[in-house]
């Protein structure tokens, strides 16, 4: 049994106030982890989720900050350590997706995505690399679009391809520390953000791209995260494509 599995774990989930991040928080809390729900602009939602976890018998706090701001995130890590004594798991769900053909993309949108998706993941991973206990896990987030290469996703997929490259390099740099570093790459997932503005016909077409003929759920993705964050000690430096078998 690993060091982390032998005792209560503490998890920090960036972007944990909504969407897939919320499902990850709920899943890790169900496993018995103490959870820190990170938010950038949705403090009330984060605190509501904390209340939900605590009401269910779990342990949780909310921490805020821009993931790309190393000072703010260092303070968030400090707050989690002060509350729970240590950190074992860091899950980087925080990210933004702005879609446009490459030829017409507003470069300000490119900068926004890369600040959050690339710099933010780098900052949080850098802090995690120096603060996690032995037996810990870092789980980053990519996207299946790095393989499917849908039009209009160029800048977003490029930011996530950077995450996929960062992940195995950090795993190798943490040799001897008993910390795994992996990424989850979801396929189309039925989040409110994904469903917004799409016709039923378009959603059905997208859902048919995998053998299950459905969209993924937030719980599907959270299950993959829980696997990498807990029992998957021999999976390291990998990107797990959680997309139902999408090509």
Q: Which active-site residues does the annotation give?
A: 156
- What are the φ/ψ torsions at residue 54 (nearest 5 degrees)? -65, -40
Count of alpha carbons within 13 Å of 21, Cβ hemisphere only? 30
Distances (CA, A) of 148 to 30, 152, 179, 191, 238: 33, 12, 30, 19, 18
Phi-psi label, residue 159: left if phi above 0, alpha if psi -120 to 50, beta otherwise: alpha
Q: Are 62 and 55 in contact (CB under 8 A)?
A: no
Is residue 38 classed as helix, strand or coil in its secondary structure?
strand
- Spatial contact of 163 and 120, defined as CB atoms under 8 Å apart: no
**Adjacency order of strands within the sheet including 239-242:** 60-64, 34-39, 10-14, 87-92, 132-141, 180-186, 239-242
Q: Dihedral (C-alpha) 120, 159, 227, 46: value to the nearest 10 degrees?
A: 40
103 Cβ neighbours under 8 A, 6+ residues apart? none
Task: Return d(Cα 41, Cα 19) in angstroms, integer.
Answer: 14
Do 181 and 237 meet the contact criterion of CB atoms below 8 Å apart? yes
């Amino acid at each position: 049994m690993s060091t982390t599995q032998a005792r209560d774990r503490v998890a920090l989930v960036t972007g944990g106030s909504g969407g897939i991040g919320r499902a990850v928080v709920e899943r890790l809390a169900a496993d018995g982890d103490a959870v820190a729900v990170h938010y950038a602009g949705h403090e009330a939602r984060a605190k509501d989720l904390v209340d939900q976890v605590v009401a269910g018998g779990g342990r949780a706090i909310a921490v805020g900050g821009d993931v790309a701001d190393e000072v703010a995130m260092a303070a968030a890590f400090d707050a989690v350590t002060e509350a729970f004594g240590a950190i074992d798991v860091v899950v980087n769900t925080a990210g933004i997706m702005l879609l446009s053909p490459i030829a017409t993309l507003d470069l300000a949108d490119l900068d926004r995505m890369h600040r959050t998706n690339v710099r933010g993941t780098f900052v949080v991973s850098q802090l995690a690399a120096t603060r996690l206990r032995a037996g810990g896990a870092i789980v980053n987030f990519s996207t299946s679009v790095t393989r499917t290469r849908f039009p209009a996703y160029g800048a977003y997929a490029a930011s996530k391809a950077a995450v996929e490259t960062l992940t195995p390099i950090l795993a190798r740099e943490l040799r001897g520390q008993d910390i795994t570093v992996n990424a989850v790459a979801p396929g189309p997932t039925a989040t409110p953000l994904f469903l917004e503005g799409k016709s039923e016909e378009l959603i059905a077409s997208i859902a048919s791209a995998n053998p299950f003929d459905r969209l993924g759920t937030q719980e599907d993705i959270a299950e993959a995260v829980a696997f990498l964050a807990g029992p998957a000690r021999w999976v390291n430096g990998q990107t797990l494509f959680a997309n139902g078998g999408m090509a």
